[in-house]
Amino acid sequence: RKEVEQDPGPFNVPEGATVAFNCTYSNSASQSFFWYRQDCRKEPKLLMSVYSSGNEDGRFTAQLNRASQYISLLIRDSKLSDSATYLCVSPRRRLIFGQGTELSVKP
Amino acid sequence: EPEVTQTPSHQVTQMGQEVILRCVPISNHLYFYWYRQILGQKVEFLVSFYNNEISEKSEIFDDQFSVERPDGSNFTLKIRSTKLEDSAMYFCASSEGTSNQPQHFGDGTRLSIL
């Protein structure tokens, strides 16, 4: 089993929609995770850190379910600028990236 | 906001040639990393560097690769004899600490091997 696995994409949603991404992890010792976003041919940029059960930042909510070993990212009121690939990341001394889920928000 | 900077943005090299990719990490960060991303694939870890030595490397980081911090600001990745399969986007990253600390990425060097 891969250490980090994400929903296969792409997700195509209209502006204003709510969209959720899921990510499962295999190492039960993992204490925290990150969500990064990556625009086409650009560097990954940190979106949110998830250190406990979850946290919220504006339209974005990240949750961590240790019992089921999954992390989720919820985007409310999606905007055109949210179109990107969202990467679930497990940090150790290295970052272990999931394959990424592509989101396309349409007008 | 402080950022990681990388040069060049695009490097085109003949197979078999040596390349050096350069990075300037964020100034108060202590941990430095190189990742690569082959087109259409996920970001892969290459190497981490702390206290002037390699702290971890992946199976990708073979004898053709080396890293160096030649002065107080630069962090370089050298590929000694490039292969076609080395064509990828190479990202440098840095962090204040390790494990649970987020890493901040430079905007990458696109390496094209001909």
Confidence of residue A81 (pLDDT cuts 50, 70, 90): very high
Burial B48-75 (b: 16+ CB within 10 A, else e): bbbeeeeebbbebbeeebebebeeeeeb
Q: How far is B112 from chain A (nearest CA, A)?
A: 14
Joined together, the tokens standing for residue A101 give: 């889920």
Determine contact: A31 vs chain B, CB below 8 A.
Answer: yes
Confidence of residue A102 (pLDDT cuts 50, 70, 90): very high
Q: Letter for the amino acid at A69?
A: Q
pLDDT at A53: 74
Q: Decide if B48 and A45 are in contact by the 8 Å CB cutoff.
A: no
% of chain B residues with pLDDT over 90: 84
| B70-79 pLDDT, tens digit each | 887 899 999 9
pLDDT at A52: 76
CA nearest to B98 within chain A: A93
